[in-house]
Amino acid sequence: MLPGILGTKIGMTHLFTEEGKMVPVTVIQAGPVYVTQIKTIERDGYAAVQVGYGDAKEKQLTFPKYGHLKKANVSKNLRTLREFRVDAVDGVELGQEITADIFAPGEEITVTGISKGRGFAGGVKRYHFRGQHMTHGYMTHRRPLSSGATGPQRVFKGTKKPGRMGTDRVTQKGMQVFQVDVERGLILVTGSVPGPNGALVTINKAVR
């Protein structure tokens, strides 16, 4: 069976447990995904299942991708293709539809997504630098001061400087499935999920 699924982050809300405790949850439209390729150890050197997710117009597909989907007996135009490593490919067929019912409430999962883009940011916002006093007489309130001018006479790689913030691949571990709505294809997970609403996320079963 597939160890994960692709989905779209819808937004956040909150639910209550039987004990009356409020739990913040993130709603994810999980699947359905379709098997587009099966890789085996004998042919490819490793075992994996490639799946496709999301709707796309036919003119948005390249000719190789269109032929790849047609060869896999998938009638839909899928936008995104992803691979999931598996131990064995038994029971998986080309064109097979996989839905959110592979997860169960209380199951521990890992969610991966692209964080929100913040654009060009300074050191105070990007790395939580303290900054200088906001009073008269100080001329460097939030600007970075000299770095490596007298000693090395150069700036070392990896120095915390102003630059692009966000749009990084973020993996949230230790999350839990709070509720699964198979009919509507929704998975409610505890806590927050990286990325804005409408972003693509990958949900994997936790591996210990």
* Structure tokens, 129: 């630098």
Q: What sign results for the dihedral spanned by CA atoms 80, 199, 54, 179?
A: positive
| SS3 call for 15 | strand
- Give residue 128's pLDDT: 94
This prediction has a pTM of 0.84
**pLDDT per residue as tens digits for the range 195-204:** 999 999 999 9
Alpha carbons 169 and 89: distance in angstroms, whole number: 28
- Give residue 10's pLDDT: 96
- Note the helical H segments in 34-173: 41-44, 63-71, 123-127
**pLDDT per residue as tens digits for the range 179-196:** 999 999 999 999 999 999
Residue of 17, 12, 33 whose CA lies nearest to 203: 33
Domains of the chain: 4-118+171-205 (2.40.30.10), 119-165 (no CATH)
Residue scoring higher pLDDT (149 or 129) = 129
Q: Percent of the chain having pLDDT more than 70?
A: 100
| Cβ atoms of residues 169 and 97 within 8 Å | no
**pLDDT per residue as tens digits for the range 58-86:** 899 999 999 999 999 888 899 999 999 99
- Give residue 31's pLDDT: 80
Residue of 54, 78, 56 whose CA lies nearest to 68: 78
Rg (CA), the chain: 23
- Give residue 89's pLDDT: 85
